Amino acid sequence: MFSTLIKSSKSFICSAKNVISFFAGLSLVFAYAPFSLWWLPFISIPLWFIVLNNKTPKQAAKMGFFFGFGWFASGISWVHVAIDQFGGLPLIVSVLLMALLSLYLALFPALACYLSAKLSTTKRLNLWLLSAFWLITEYLRGVVLTGFPWLSLGYTQVDSPLAAFVPLLGEFGLNSILLLICISIVQLIPYRLIPLWLIPYKTELDKKSSHNIYHYTKYSFPLSVGIIISAIISTIFLSQKTWVSPTDKFVKVALVQGNIKQEIKWSPEQEWPTMLKYFDLTAVNFDADIIIWPESAITAVEPMAQDFLDLANESATLQNSAIITGILNYDINTKKYFNSLITLGKKHEKDTQGDYQYNHGNRYAKYHLLPIGEFVPFQEWLRPIAPLFNLPQSSFSPGEYIQPNLIAKDINLLPLICFEIAFPAQLRANFKPTTNVLLTVSNDSWFGDSHGPHQHLDIARMRAAEFGRPLLRSTNNGITAVVDHQGNVIKVIPQFTQGVLKAEINLVAGETPYTKWGQFIEWAIPLITLVFYIFISRIRLKQRS
C-alpha cells in the first residue's frame, strides 16, 4: 500500500509538471502581437526551465511536447479561422486539423529537449545544452516540409530593449539571447525558494549535491551574472549604434487597401468591380512616385486582364508614377500558374513610355508557396477528400529562389509575397547593395479578426530591422503599414477599412552586420554555448576521475 501511494504521488507530480509545461507554452501567445507583452517570456520560460531541468530524455521530451503544444495551439489558433470559414469542413474536423498541426509543430521543442538530455554527460537535461539544440530544431522547423518558422521566440522582443541586437544578430540570434537570459534567471534563483516537489529526482552522481537542480553550479552562477550584465551593457551600446545612414532622397508612396471580402473576392462577376475599385482609389493619388496594390489585387489571370493592365500602365506613365500590383499569371509558354507581382508605369524616371508588356522581366513570382493554400501535396489523394483541398488558386508553381529586384521610378524594391516574409534567408539571398526598399504584399482576410495579421506585421517589422531598410506592407484588408529601417511603424491603415496610406519614406545607405554576415553570426551564440558545455564537461570528468 505504501509503495502504491508513492507511485501515485510520483505520477501526480509528473502530471503536474506536464500541466505546468503546457500552460507555460500557452501563455506565450500574450508575448506576441497584438498583446505584445515582451517581458512575459522572462517569467514563463524560466518557470518551465525549473521543472524541465535535469530530466531524463523521456521526461524531457514529454515536457517539451506539452510546452510546444500549448505554445502553438494558442499562438497559431488563427489558422482555424481559414479552415473553418473557407475550408468547407465541419467544426469538429477543422478543430482536429488545427490540433494536428499544433501536435506536429510540438515535435520540434520535444526533440530539442530530448537531445539536450540524451547527449548530456549525465544523461539528464542540461539547460545550457538546451539553448544550443533549441536553435537547431528551430532551424529544422523552418525548413522541414517547406518550413513553418512562425512564432519563433525572437519575435516576442520586437518592441523590447533587446531589439537593439536585431541588426547585429537577427531574429534567430535574438532567440539565443532570450534563451540564455532565461537560463541565467533560473541559475540565479535561490535554491531554497524553489518548491521541493519541483526539484528533479537525484541521480547517483548528484546524491551529495544539495544544489542538484543546477548543472555546474560552481560555474553557472558567475556565468549567469556575466550574461545578464553583458546583455544590459550590450543593449545600451547597441541602442545608440547606427548601422545605416539616412540619405537626402525621399520617395512618395501610396499603399491601397481595397478591403475586398474574401467570400466574394474570387467570384467571376467581381473581377471588373474589384479592378475598377483599385483604379479609382489610385487615380486620385497619382502624385505618389510608387503606388502599391496588395497580393492578388487583380483576380483575373494576367493574359485575360490585358485591357485593364494597359489602361493602368498608360495612366501611371502619363502621371509620372508607377504601380506595383499582385496578380495571378498563367504563363502561356510554360502552362504554369504563378502568384506574381508586376510593375506598371515608369521603371525609370526618364522613361517616356510605360514599362509593362505581358511577361516582361520587371516582375516577381512567389517562390515559397503555402501548403494547401497555394499547392496541395499528394493532390491526387487529397483533393477528392474535402473542399479544403480545392481552395481557389491552389495549383501554383514556385518562381526561382533568386530573382531580380523590382524597379519602379529608379527605386529598387525587394519583393516577398505573404508567408515569404517569415524566411530571412530568402530575403538575404535576394538582397543587393542597390536594394532601397523591402516590399511585402499579403491577403490576410483569410484569417479574419484574429491575431494572425498582427503577428504577420511584427514579422515584417523584424525583417526591416534586420536588413536596415524601410519596408512597405500592402494588404487587402489590413494591416497595411509603412515601416522605417529600424522596424518602427510610421503609418498604418486599420483592418477592415478601405483606404489609401500615403507616406514619404527616407531612403538609407549602408548595410547592417546581419545583412553582410547573418548566415554566420546568427549561429555564433549556440556554437559558443556548445563549446562551453564540452569544456566544462571535461573538467567535471577529470574531477570525478
Active-site positions read 295, 366, 418
> For residue 456, which of 168, 167, 155, 144 has the smallest C-alpha distance?
155
> For residue 65, which of 104, 110, 101, 22 has the smallest C-alpha distance?
110
Contact 438, 413 (CB under 8 A): yes
Cell 521526461 belongs to which residue? 59
Other beta carbons within 10 Å of 12: 11
Other beta carbons within 10 Å of 62: 19
Strands in 378-470 per DSSP E: 406-408, 411-417, 437-442
Other beta carbons within 10 Å of 535: 10
Q: Distance between CA atoms of 6 and 350, rounded to whole angstroms?
A: 84
CA quadruple 117, 42, 452, 149: dihedral sign = negative
Q: DSSP letters of 446-515?
A: GGTTSSHHHHHHHHHHHHHHHHT--EEEEESSS-EEEE-TTS-EEEEE-TT--EEEEEEEEEEES--HHH
Please give the backbone phi and psi of residue 544, each rounded to the nearest 5 degrees, phi first.
-70, -40
> For residue 439, which of 418, 465, 410, 466 has the smallest C-alpha distance?
418
Query: Which class for 314: exposed (0-12), middle (13-18), buried (19 or more C-beta within 10 A)?
Result: middle
Which of the 8 DSSP states describes residue 375?
B
Contact 440, 145 (CB under 8 A): no
Q: Calculate Rg over the CA atoms of the chain.
A: 26
